[in-house]
Amino acid sequence: MSSNLVLHKDAVPVPLTVPTSMREAFINNYLKATCNTGRLLLFAGDQKVEHLNKDFFGPDISPESANPTHLFDIASKSRIGAFATNLGLVARYASDYKNVRYVIKLNGKTNLVPTQQADPNSCMWTPVQQVVEFKKQTGLDIVGIGMTVYLGSEHESAMLAQAAQAIYQAHQNGLMTTVWMYPRGKAVQNERSADIIAGVAGIAVCLGADFVKVNAPEAADSFESAQLLRQATMAAGNTRVICAGGQSKSEKEFLQALYHQIHGGGAMGAAVGRNIHQKSTQEAIKFCNALAAIIIDDADVATAE
């Protein structure tokens, strides 16, 4: 990693909801997840629930992607910060992938019901206390938890309350927290407008989250998008913003956008899913490592490629 990115353990932003007895555990989790840089490359593996199988099987997708082991193979062999997915999936595969750092995604829903029919609601599959118990029983390297909140949904306040509770409980147990903040619902005109994205990033810090995953604002190009993102990274304060990968694009475009998000927009990493796992294992690992070069080594795009 670039020496100028080294995050000293005293510089980790430890929220006061982490009790003294859990302070060291929290700092360790934070540093592991961010590879000692404060920047997070989160490999997102909750799309089997959120997007069903369309992200994993099809004409432009590597056949390897069809099998869940693909996700774990990539997570195990790449320079990612952590792999985020459901506790159930971890339970079924992690005995063969003990070197992976895991973030447990606590809630979930599919994309079958369109927003026009009903505003989105995502219920908690797993209480934090169960994650703690599971970590203890298995000895897995679970560094944190995550959950999605749909702002602008008629159910937003219930989801916000659940997120606030999950974050509090996670901190009480020394776990790092990431919230997926998505504006979505009949009331949301444009999910990618810069001010809405800044708004939901600002709510993440009010929830006490350590990281917030948002979509980058809509703009003419990724440079301009990153400029607009700065509003969100300011609003989020010491909650670090990471951008979602979004729909598949060329590797170069992706890396360029990521570079802008970090250097122009103040992002502190990325959460990438289909742009990684739709490739063959070998290609995916290579791409992950390119992402890691930019995020963790502070490389430029030419070096990272």
Q: Tell me which of 6, 24, 129, 161 binds its own copies, using CB under 8 A.
A: 161
Residues 35-54 that bind its own copies (CB under 8 A): 46, 48-49, 52-54
Q: Using CB under 8 A, count the residues that bind its own copies.
A: 89
Q: Binding pattern to its own copies, positions 171-200, x when CB under 8 A?
A: x-----------x-xxxx------xx-xxx
In angstroms, rounded to a whole number, what is the distance separating the alpha carbons of residues 240 and 179?
Answer: 10
Q: Is 138 in the site for its own copies (CB under 8 A)?
A: yes
State in angstroms the smallest separation of the CB of 106 from its own copies. Answer: 10
How far apart are the C-alpha atoms of 115 and 95, rounded to whole Å? Answer: 38
Tokens of 95: 């005995």
As a whole number of angstroms, the distance between CA 232 and CA 235 comes to 5
- Contact status, residue 225 vs residue 194, Cβ threshold 8 Å: no
Which residues are CB-neighbours of 215 under 8 A, at least 6 positions away? 182, 191, 192, 197, 243, 244, 246
Closer to its own copies by Cβ: residue 23 or 79: 23
**Catalytic-role residue among 30, 213, 259, 279:** 213
Catalytic: which of 182, 249, 259, 279?
A: 182
Neighbours of 110 (CB within 10 A): 10
Catalytic site includes residue 97: no
Is residue 150 flagged as an active site residue? Answer: no
Among positions 3, 4, 238, 250, the unique one binding its own copies when judged by CB under 8 A: 238
What residues from 69 to 88 belong to the interface with its own copies (CB under 8 A)?
A: 69, 85-88
Asked whether the beta carbons of 240 and 210 are under 8 A apart, the reply is yes
Token digits for 58?
A: 């099809």
Which of 157, 190, 282, 303 is the binder for its own copies (CB under 8 A)? 157
